[in-house]
């Protein structure tokens, strides 16, 4: 009889190597092309999500398919064309999110079993395709990172919905974690404050006011319990404390209204117009709710609202870039990822 004696200190079998861990960055989404067809396809997916438009009844479906998708795509396509990355034929949001993925992967190189990928909730690359890709690469655990500092059902929750919808169709499911909102994390507030300070230092003028503009939301969603508004306020309060500014110097507003219902107030465009008419000549706008620059920051704020301010008597306007793939921005995501991967690494 042959007796096999284990050798102490021998190399472990190949199949006992650490499981691979996927980290999936998820941003809101973007059209695949800056034309009417591309924008229509994007808006159809976006506005058909019951997390975004909660009442998906017959009236909404008739309005969406009979009016909105017939008229709005052509107008929005012109807006996308103003900011489109023509070199890569994609939106800045897609270019920036890809860069965030690459730089985050580089920063986590000390953990070779981590694979970093990226996806869009609406449009491409889809969450479905990237979860499949991570699974195919041997990731038995996946950390989903919604790139929204403040939680809302219309952003963070719908990422979770889609991720778990994908898993519901898989027999061999990976274990899934989702990062929480980071609206008042010290690293995030410090990075925002440093970014604002550095940007303002490059200007030939000193702003009289700084407007912190967050994406809007129907007031009814807040009334039903969404914590988004309170988290936006918490971010603004923390930023005021860090920068040493009071409520008069650093204002909170909400942009991007849609439809006829009441949305969170004060509205960004009305506030900017009012400040100009009151005699404010120098204004800066920062958008703390966006991890990456996109249509709402580059076109709506930096172009439309800048024009609104100047047209009504303002003289100097600046939009502070989002954290994007800056060193500070990547450091925020990295610390969030490493914190949530505790017990897996």
**Distance set, CA 11 to CA 7, 18, 182 (Å):** 9, 13, 41
Q: Does 135 carry a binding-site annotation?
A: no
Tokens of 292: 């990456």
For 251, the enclosing helix (H) or strand (E) is strand 250-255
Give which of 136, 282, 140 is closest to 200, Cα–Cα: 282
The β-bridge relationship of strands 282-286 and 316-319 is: parallel
Do residues 309 and 272 lie in contact, with contact meaning Cβ atoms separated by under 8 Å?
yes
Token duo for residue 227: 């914590």
Flag whether 296 is marked binding: yes
Distance CA 119, CA 133 (A): 11
- Contact status, residue 226 vs residue 152, Cβ threshold 8 Å: yes
Task: Please provide the distance, in angstroms rounded to a whole number, between the alpha carbons at the two ends of the chain.
Answer: 42
Calculated CA dihedral for residues 274, 277, 279, 285, nearest 10 degrees: 40
CA distances from 49 to 157, 215, 312, 336 (A): 11, 17, 37, 28
Three-state DSSP state, 306: helix
Edge-to-edge strand list for the sheet holding 114-122: 114-122, 20-29, 139-146, 175-178
- Residue positions in the annotated binding site? 215, 296
- Residue positions in the annotated binding site for Fe(2+)? 215, 296
């Amino acid at each position: 009889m042959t007796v096999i004696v284990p050798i102490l200190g021998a190399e472990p079998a190949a199949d006992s190597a650490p499981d691979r861990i996927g980290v999936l960055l998820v941003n809101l989404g973007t059209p695949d092309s800056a034309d009417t067809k591309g924008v229509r396809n994007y808006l159809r997916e976006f506005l058909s999500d019951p997390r975004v438009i909660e009442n998906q009844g017959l009236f909404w479906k008739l309005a969406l398919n009979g009016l909105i998708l017939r008229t709005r795509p052509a107008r929005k396509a012109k807006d996308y064309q103003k900011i489109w990355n023509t070199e890569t034929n994609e939106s800045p949001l897609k270019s920036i999110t890809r860069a965030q993925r690459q730089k985050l992967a580089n920063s986590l190189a000390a953990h070779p079993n981590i694979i970093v990928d990226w996806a869009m909730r609406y449009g491409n690359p889809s969450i479905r395709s990237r979860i499949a890709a991570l699974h195919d690469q041997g990731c038995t655990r996946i950390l989903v990172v919604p790139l929204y500092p403040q939680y809302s059902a219309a952003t963070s929750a719908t990422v979770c919905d889609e991720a778990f919808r994908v898993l519901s169709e898989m027999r061999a499911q990976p274990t899934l974690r989702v990062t929480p909102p980071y609206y008042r994390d010290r690293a995030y507030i410090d990075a925002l404050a440093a970014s604002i300070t550095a940007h303002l230092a490059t200007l030939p003028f000193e702003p009289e006011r700084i407007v912190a503009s967050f994406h809007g939301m129907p007031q009814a969603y807040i009334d039903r319990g969404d914590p988004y508004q309170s988290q936006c306020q918490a971010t603004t309060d923390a930023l005021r404390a860090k920068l040493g500014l009071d409520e008069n110097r650093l204002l909170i507003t909400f942009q991007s209204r849609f439809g006829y219902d009441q949305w969170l107030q004060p509205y960004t465009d009305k506030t900017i117009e009012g400040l100009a008419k009151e005699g404010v000549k120098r204004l800066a706008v920062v958008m703390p709710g966006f991890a990456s620059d996109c249509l709402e920051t580059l076109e709506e704020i930096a172009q439309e609202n800048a024009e609104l301010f100047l047209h009504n008597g303002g003289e100097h306007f600046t939009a502070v870039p989002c954290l994007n793939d800056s060193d500070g921005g990547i450091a925020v995501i990295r610390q969030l990822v490493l914190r949530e991967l505790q017990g897996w690494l």
